[in-house]
Structure formats: structure tokens, C-alpha cells
Amino acid sequence: MLLWVTDMARDTSSRIRRGQAITLKVDDNEVTGFEGETIATVLLAAGITTFNHTPDGRPRGPYCNMGTCFECQVKMAPNAGQDHRWVRACMAPARDGMDIQTGVSRVRLPGREMKTGRDR
Ligand code: FES
């Protein structure tokens, strides 16, 4: 039994079927993903772990990966040049041509200076 499980773990290439390659713009960089993946999957696979910031500048990223915690929010425009809106990256399917902004702080507290990834 153990041998069978070990062999299954090794032989993943024949069982993984990925969608067609897609390209997203993430903070002005091109990032490749695959159809069927979420925005969070594409970002994490690209090594991006900071998705937004708290009002005092602490980095936030995916925690639950099932739409409950809202820690994975990013700004997303369906295509370049369109308005961005906040989405939960773990719940939003990645699409070719999307424009994603990470590192932005969603909450603005009165009287507090914003520190975001873009400001540093
Ligand atoms: S990681 Fe928790 S809502 Fe996306």
C-alpha cells in the first residue's frame, strides 16, 4: 500500500491537466497562469505573496483560500484600461488580459497616513 501511494505521488505529470496558458498584467508585469486557476493561484505561483496591506502598512495575503477571511483582496480590472474593483483573489477566476494591482490598502482611516507597497 505504501509503495502504491509513493508511486502515485511521483507520477503526477500524466494526471495533471492544465488549461490553456493565459497572461495577466500584475503591477505592470506580465505573469503567466492557466485557465481554470484563480487569481490567487496565479499570483502565488509567480511568487507574489503580498496581496494588499492593512492601513498601517502590514502586508496581507491568502489565509483561508476559500472566500471566508478576505485577506486575499486585490484590485482587478477585466482588461487593461478598465476600472479596477476589489475582488477576493482566491474566489476570482483568472482570465487572459486581466490587470491586477497588489499591495494596495483597502481601508483608509481618517488622519492616518497610508503606507502601501507602492509607496515604499
Ligand atoms: S484567502 Fe480568505 S478569502 Fe481569500
CA of 39 to the centre of ligand 1 (A): 11
pLDDT for residue 91 is more than 80: yes
- What does the pLDDT read at residue 4? 56
Q: Which atom of ligand 1 is nearest to the CA of 63?
A: 1
Task: Say if residues 55 and 112 touch (Cβ distance below 8 Å).
Answer: yes
Can you give the residue range of the structural domain that contains 67? Answer: 18-105
Within a domain: 84:
yes
- What does the pLDDT read at residue 113? 52
Q: Which atom of ligand 1 is nearest to the CA of 65?
A: 1
- What does the pLDDT read at residue 105? 82
Within a domain: 99:
yes
Within a domain: 82:
yes
Task: Output b/e per residue, 9-46; b: 16+ Cβ within 10 A.
Answer: eeeeeeeeeeeeebebbbeeeebebeeebbbbbbbbee
Q: Which residues have CB under 8 Å from 64's CB, separation 6+?
A: 71, 90
Within a domain: 117:
no
Percentage of the chain surpassing pLDDT 90? 64
Q: What is the pLDDT of residues 5-16, one digit of tens each?
A: 556 555 666 777
Task: Say if residues 105 and 120 touch (Cβ distance below 8 Å).
Answer: no
Number of folded domains that form the chain? 1
Q: What is the pLDDT of residues 39-80, one digit of tens each?
A: 999 999 999 999 999 888 899 999 999 999 999 999 999 998
pLDDT for residue 120 is more than 50: no
- What does the pLDDT read at residue 44? 97
Mean pLDDT of the chain: 85
CA of 91 to the centre of ligand 1 (A): 8
CATH number (domain holding residue 23): 3.10.20.440
101-105 mean pLDDT? 89
Within a domain: 47:
yes
Closest CA to 29 of 112, 106, 102: 102
Within a domain: 2:
no
Closest CA to 100 of 65, 61, 73, 74: 74
Within a domain: 34:
yes
Can you tell me which residue has the cell 476600472? 83
Percentage of the chain surpassing pLDDT 70? 78
